[in-house]
Chains A and B, each alone.
Chain A
Amino acid sequence: MKKRLCIHGMAVAGLLASVAVPASAADTITVASWGGTYQEAQTKAFFDPTAKELGITIKQDTTNGLDDVRLQVTGNAVKWDITELGADECARGSKEGLFEKLDYNVIDKSGINPKLVHDDWVGISYTSVVLIYRTDVFGDKGPKTWADFWNVEKFPGRRALSGSQATETLSVAALAKGIPIDKVYPVDIDGALQSVDKIKGHIDAWWTSGAQAMQLVKDGEVDMASIWNGRAGTLKKEGAPVAFSFDQGVLTADCMVIPKGSKNKDIAMKALAKFVSPDLQANLPLYVDNGPANEKAFETGKIPPERIKDINSAPENVKKQVLQDPAFWRDNLVDATEKFNNLIQQ
């Protein structure tokens, strides 16, 4: 009954959508990503070259994440052929059976971390959570590690952490306890929560979006924060007095999937194979700070050597960071997030 009602409602929505958008030709696919400068970079790096090479049209849309895919798939109104998600969302969606199986005869997985290669999803790029501080407050003697961030006597000042990404904040909380980067996963959730409990009284804002994190640092509302490296790089480029490094960063992957019921599955598979190929992957860091998921991209010679040190997924930088484990969060996200939400709420 539940399902039938769902389908009925979505059929109406689907009907409306198909009236609004002219019927797509067989060689047209729709790809959804996060929008903004990131998607513009992807357009130049992945979508345009792939469309040209395969002789297809790639339409674009933006996504809010797993909810959107779930809505389309459970409602039988799939309008995307490929969509980007966070790796933990991919792992959860995979458990729910929302994606098509990927064909690794078409997609060459070599060069991609095996943790990001799965039956129905594959890694596409990396974002890092880094510690940023204002140099007009600390000079170059700012907090360098998460233990410093947690040390409110030595580094007095206003602080912000992510409130919406419990996965990331719990990872840095574990690092703050002094756990070495290769021992953070599997996260000791209760231990990490205790660590959050210690700092929460000194947190002035729990940010819920990348833009908000950026605004907090830029306007001097906080003196130090956790932030995504792309946002941190933008702040620096804009001339804000900030410093950050990849030391003790949390490397989180993004992934791509083909939502179950995609009408252009075969072409989508070919396009996805192009997206993750070293050649196109190497384009991405030319336009944006998010590093390629395929490490063979660094061997193509396309990325200028002086650029490589600024890329979070460059082999040198990967060594300094914790790789967030999507499978761990697939199984622990709900419980950990509920506890985390309870803790940070006033």
Chain B
Amino acid sequence: MRSARLHDGAGATLNADALRADARRESFGLLALLSPGLLLVFAVIIVPIGWLFWLSLFDEAGQLSAANYARFFEQASYIKTFVTTFKVAFTVTGACIVLGYPLAYMLSQLPRRAAGVCLIFVILPFWTSVLVRTYAWLVILQRKGLVNTWLMDLGVIAQPLSLANNFAGVVIGMTHIMLPFLVLPLYASMKTIDVDCLRAGMNLGASPAATFRQIFLPLSLPGLASGVVIVFVLCLGFFVTPALMGGGKVIMWAMRMEQTTSLYSNWGAGAALGVVLLAVTLALLGLFQWLLGARATGVWSQR
């Protein structure tokens, strides 16, 4: 019996060796197939980011130093910019959820054809230039813009509301631009929710509100989470809308990058800002992944 087991073992080892060799050959083959892609990723992503980081370590005299990072603490304006950036990102994400969730819910409940037509209205602005849409908002929101003129003509307000060239303007403009990024993944995930689950819930005596709260909402959360992640991350690096709608008072991180790059003679000053933004974004993505699970960050992955 002992010898038989040995014999078996020897056979297994023999086979295992052959299998391992085979597996190794196959993985080398796959690696070879993948190598052009990997090289490309290395050349266009890893190298430039590494270079950016490298540049951020040199001061204006070309000496290795941490001056570019120390500046964030020495100059209060950088901290303010950082806080503003997050304030805008949180507010816009919140506004997108409030507006986007009911919209996606409505779309998901409409008959297929009607939903298709309505989706066009979500996607059309999505395809229009951000610059054009931002200027359009400026025309609508400014002191003598449409909203203020109408409200004053109707006698609702006596003094024009300040809706542009401030924080409110930035939030309104950015919410409009970010909304499709939340609605589309959310809609996709809502469409996959089995209607039979809802019917079963109601069949068992749950009110429509309870069915929504206990079945639909939890099932739609992964889609919402992925939408929130995209919107939040895009907000952190946004430039055009805050630059045009903020009236120079709402300075976000990307705008500060542009200012810094032209102010200092070394690329490191701007590069350091880029490194910080990248690190913060990656850390946030990591945090989201940890909190919400892989599905939230696996954007667009669910159909």
B108 CB within 8 Å of chain A: no
Cα(A7)–Cα(B173), bound, Å: 40
CB distance from B85 to the nearest CB of A (A): 12
* Residues of chain B contacted by A207 (CB below 8 angstroms): 248
Q: Tell whether A14 is near chain B: CB-to-CB under 8 Å.
A: no
Contact partner of A221 among B58, B84, B144, B243, CB < 8 A?
B144
Identify the stretch in A281-289, A315-323, A333-341 within 8 Å (CB) of chain B at 4 or more residues.
Answer: A333-341
Q: Which single member of B77, B142, B261, B263 contacts A333 (CB below 8 Å)?
A: B263
Q: Does B15 contact A (CB under 8 A)?
A: no
Central interface residue in A92, A215, A344, A345, by most chain B CB within 10 Å: A345
Which segment of A62-70, A251-259, A301-309 sits at the interface? A62-70
A221 and B165 contacting across the interface, CB-CB below 8 Å? yes
- B76 contacts A by Cβ under 8 Å: yes
Q: Kindly supply a per-residue 1/0 record for chain A positions 30-50, scoring 1 wherever the CB is within 8 Å of any chain B CB and 0 otherwise.
A: 000000000000000000000
From A158, A333, A342, name the one whose CB has the most chain B CB atoms within 10 angstroms: A342
Q: Please, which residue of chain A has its CB at the minimum distance from the CB of B256?
A: A341
Q: Which of B54, B248, B249, B261 contacts A67 (CB 8 A)?
A: B261
- Residue B176 at the chain A interface, CB threshold 8 Å: no
Across the interface, which residues of B come within 8 angstroms of A66, CB to CB? 262
Structural contact, A220 and B77, CB atoms closer than 8 A = no
Interface residues of B in 71-110 (CB under 8 A from A): 75-77, 80-81, 84
Interface string of A90-123 (1 = CB under 8 A from B): 0010001000000000000000000000000000
Q: Is B264 on the interface with A (CB-CB < 8 A)?
A: yes
B143 within 8 A of partner (CB): yes
A: contact size bracket: 20 to 34
What band does the interface of chain B fall in when counting residues whose beta carbon is under 8 Å from A? 20 to 34
Task: Enumerate chain B residues within 8 angstroms of A67, measured Cβ to Cβ.
Answer: 261-262
A341 to B71, CA, bound (A): 14
Contacts of B247-284 to chain A: CB distance below 8 A = 247-251, 259, 261-265
B144 with A337: CB separation less than 8 A? no
B249 touches which of A2, A70, A206, A220 (Cβ 8 Å): A206
Given the interface pairs A158-B143, A205-B247, A221-B165, the reply to whether A342 lies near B75 with Cβ below 8 Å is: yes
Q: Do the beta carbons of A345 and B265 come within 8 Å of each other?
A: no
Are B77 and A341 in touch, CB under 8 angstroms? yes
Bits for B52-77, please: 1 = Cβ < 8 Å to A, else 0: 00110010001000000000000111
Chain B positions within 8 Å of A96 at CB level: 265
- Say yes or no for A15: interface residue by CB 8 A criterion: no
User: B243: which A residues are within 8 A, CB to CB?
Assistant: 208
Q: How far is the CA of A70 from the CA of B55 in the complex (A)?
A: 15
Shortest Cβ distance from B247 into chain A, in angstroms? 4
Contacting residues, chain A, for B162 (C-beta < 8 A): 204
In the complex, the answer to whether A221 meets B263 with C-beta atoms within 8 Å is no
What residues of chain B lie closer than 8 Å to A338, measured between beta carbons?
75, 77, 263
Chain A: CB-nearest residue to B71: A338
Q: Which residue of A lies closest to B55 (CB)?
A: A2
With A2-B54, A158-B143, A208-B243 in contact, do A342 and B76 touch (Cβ < 8 Å)? Answer: yes
Mask, A61-88, CB within 8 Å of B = 1, is 0000111001000000000000000000
Report whether B264 and A341 are in contact in the complex, using a CB–CB cutoff of 8 Å.
Answer: no
On whether A205 and B248 interact (CB within 8 A), knowing A66-B262, A219-B142, A346-B167, the answer reads yes
Assuming the A-B contacts A204-B165, A334-B264, are A345 and B81 also in contact, with contact meaning beta carbons closer than 8 angstroms in the complex? Answer: yes
Q: Is A163 an interface residue (CB 8 A)?
A: yes
Return the contact of A220 from the options B62, B84, B144, B164 (Cβ within 8 A).
Answer: B144
Q: List residues of A (106-150) whose CB comes within 8 Å of B's CBs.
A: none
By the criterion CB–CB under 8 Å, are A2 and B62 in contact? Answer: yes
- 1/0 per residue B130-153: CB within 8 Å of A? 000000001100111100000000
Query: Is A342 touching B247 in the complex (CB atoms < 8 A)?
Result: no
CB distance from A263 to the nearest CB of B (A): 24
Q: Is the CB of A208 within 8 A of B144?
A: no
Is residue B51 contacting chain A, with contact meaning CB distance below 8 A? yes
Is A21 in the interface zone, CB < 8 Å from B?
A: no
A5 at the interface (CB under 8 A from B): yes
- Pick the contact of A342 from B55, B80, B165, B264 — CB < 8 Å? B80
B165 / chain A contacts, CB cutoff of 8 Å: 204-205, 221
B263 to chain A, nearest CB (A): 6
Q: Which residue of B has the minimal Cβ distance to A346? A: B249
Contacts of B142 in A (CB 8 A): 219, 221
Return chain B residues, CB-CB under 8 Å to A206. 247-249
A1→B54 CA distance, assembly (Å): 10
Task: Give the residues in chain B near A219, CB-CB below 8 Å.
Answer: 139, 142-145
Q: Which residue of B lies closest to A1 (CB)?
A: B54
Please list the residues of chain A having a beta carbon within 8 angstroms of any beta carbon in chain B.
1-2, 5, 9, 65-67, 70, 92, 96, 158, 163-164, 204-208, 212, 215, 219-221, 333-334, 337-338, 341-342, 344-346
21 A-B pairs with CB atoms under 8 Å apart are A1-B54, A2-B58, A9-B51, A67-B261, A70-B265, A92-B265, A204-B247, A208-B243, A219-B139, A219-B142, A219-B143, A221-B143, A221-B164, A334-B264, A338-B77, A341-B77, A341-B259, A342-B77, A344-B248, A345-B77, A345-B81
Q: 17 extra interchain contacts, Cβ-Cβ under 8 A, other than A212-B244, A346-B80?
A: A67-B262, A204-B162, A205-B247, A205-B248, A206-B249, A215-B138, A221-B144, A221-B164, A221-B165, A334-B264, A338-B75, A341-B251, A342-B75, A342-B76, A342-B77, A344-B248, A345-B251
State the 10 A-B residue pairs at the shortest beta-carbon distance, nearest first: A206-B248, A163-B248, A342-B77, A205-B247, A205-B165, A346-B249, A220-B144, A341-B77, A221-B142, A345-B80
